[in-house]
């Protein structure tokens, strides 16, 4: 049975740690993440973006997560990441996802409230919890992109949560999606986070939180990846964010770099290799390592 995201995050909220949200696109990525959570007895949130659903198919991803949750002793939730298409959101709710995100952050305040409220009403009827976003997180990925960054306005956060009845709130405090997060100093607006925290009483979510760890970046580069100027969120900033109210942390980019490094290493070192198990197995193992590092950083070890 899939776990309940709201209960998972309520516990994290109460005890001041964060649960890792990890994006999945295929079986190997998911298995690496789940193995990490199991090894560390940690709850985990598997997330599918609309791009992942378009790539792999919603039924494949849903059933992968359900299978993992049946076989595993740790709580595993399944979450829709950055839901923008009402048809996809409705499909996830009907199928039995644990939670969905409605990302109407690029809309005006009133329209963001209206769309979020609409999703909350349909999701809560089915016991599905809802993440919403106020302010915009910068950066570009496949289907998730925002050219500009607008920080979350703390004076509007309470009104937003009260009027929408959303269960979790994604905040814009200086992170951005993808591998190029900062051109200068890598620093989050922790003061702003404190103000948002003071005004709201829901678990807060940090998107664009990948650390872009040098070890894994160097491995990918050693085997041919071209990633000039790549920069993530330092671990010290993540710790501060958790201390000041973040309870859900989204990671995708670090998994992408790990997967890329693993695949590149095998095909560079063994150009005669054709067996997909030998090509993807080491990538899955690197995903596990990176996910374990993240889970330790988030403080959710032994919280299953």
Which positions are catalytic?
Answer: 81
| 18-37 binders of ligand G3H (CB under 6 A) | 23
260 binds ligand G3H (CB under 6 A): no
Which residues contribute to the site for Zn ion (CB under 5 A)? 207, 250
| 14-33 binders of ligand 13P (CB under 6 A) | 23
Binding mask 57-96 for ligand 13P (x = CB under 6 A): ------------------------xx--------------
Distance CA(61)–CA(84), nearest Å, equals 18
Binding mask 90-129 for ligand G3H (x = CB under 6 A): ----------------------------------------
Please identify which residue in 84, 109, 141, 153 interacts with ligand G3H, judged by CB under 6 A. 141
Q: Centre a 10 Å sphere on the Cβ of residue 214 and count the other Cβ atoms it contains.
A: 11
Q: Residue 141 or residue 285: which is nearer to Zn ion going by CB?
A: 141
82 binds ligand G3H (CB under 6 A): yes
Strand partners, 83: 102
133 binds ligand 13P (CB under 6 A): no
Q: Residue 13 or residue 177: which is nearer to ligand G3H going by CB?
A: 177
Q: Residue 8 or residue 209: which is nearer to Zn ion going by CB?
A: 209
Q: How far is the CB of 210 from ligand G3H (least distance, A)?
A: 9
177 binds ligand 13P (CB under 6 A): yes
Contact region with ligand 13P (CB under 6 A), list: 105-113, 161-169, 221-229, 246-254: 246-254
Q: Residue 167 or residue 266: which is nearer to ligand 13P going by CB?
A: 167
Q: What is the token pair recorded at 248?
A: 């859900």
Please identify which residue in 207, 231, 264, 303 interacts with ligand 13P, judged by CB under 6 A. 207
176 contacts 187 by C-beta, under 8 angstroms: no
Q: Residue 98 or residue 250: which is nearer to ligand 13P going by CB?
A: 250
294 binds ligand G3H (CB under 6 A): no
Site for ligand 13P, rule CB under 6 A: 23, 81-82, 177-178, 207-210, 250-253
């Amino acid at each position: 049975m899939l776990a309940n995201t709201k209960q998972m995050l309520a516990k994290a909220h109460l005890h001041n740690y964060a649960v890792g949200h990890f994006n999945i696109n295929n079986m190997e990525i998911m298995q690496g993440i789940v193995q990490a959570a199991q090894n560390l007895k940690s709850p985990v949130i598997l997330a599918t973006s609309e791009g992942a659903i378009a790539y792999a198919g919603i039924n494949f991803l849903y059933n992968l997560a359900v299978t993992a949750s049946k076989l595993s002793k740790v709580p595993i939730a399944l979450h829709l990441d950055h839901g923008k298409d009402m048809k996809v959101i409705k499909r996830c709710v009907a199928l039995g996802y644990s939670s969905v995100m409605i990302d109407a952050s690029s809309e005006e305040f009133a329209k963001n409230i209206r769309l979020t409220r609409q999703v909350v009403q349909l999701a809560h009827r089915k016991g599905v919890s809802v993440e919403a976003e106020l302010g915009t997180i910068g950066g570009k990925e496949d289907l998730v992109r925002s050219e500009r960054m607008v920080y979350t306005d703390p004076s509007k956060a309470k009104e937003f949560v009260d009027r929408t009845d959303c269960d979790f709130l994604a905040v814009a405090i200086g992170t951005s999606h993808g591998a190029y997060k900062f051109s200068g100093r890598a620093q989050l607006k922790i003061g702003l986070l404190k103000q948002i925290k003071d005004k709201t009483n829901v678990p807060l979510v940090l998107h664009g939180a990948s650390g872009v760890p040098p070890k894994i970046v160097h491995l990918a580069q050693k085997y041919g990846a071209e990633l000039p100027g790549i920069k993530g969120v330092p671990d010290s900033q993540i710790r501060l964010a958790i201390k000041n109210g973040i309870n859900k942390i989204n990671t995708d980019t670090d998994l992408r770099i790990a997967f890329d490094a693993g695949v590149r290493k095998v095909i560079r070192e063994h150009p005669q290799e054709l067996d997909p198990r030998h090509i993807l197995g080491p990538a899955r193992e690197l995903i596990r390592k990176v996910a374990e590092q993240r889970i330790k950083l988030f403080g959710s070890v032994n919280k299953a």
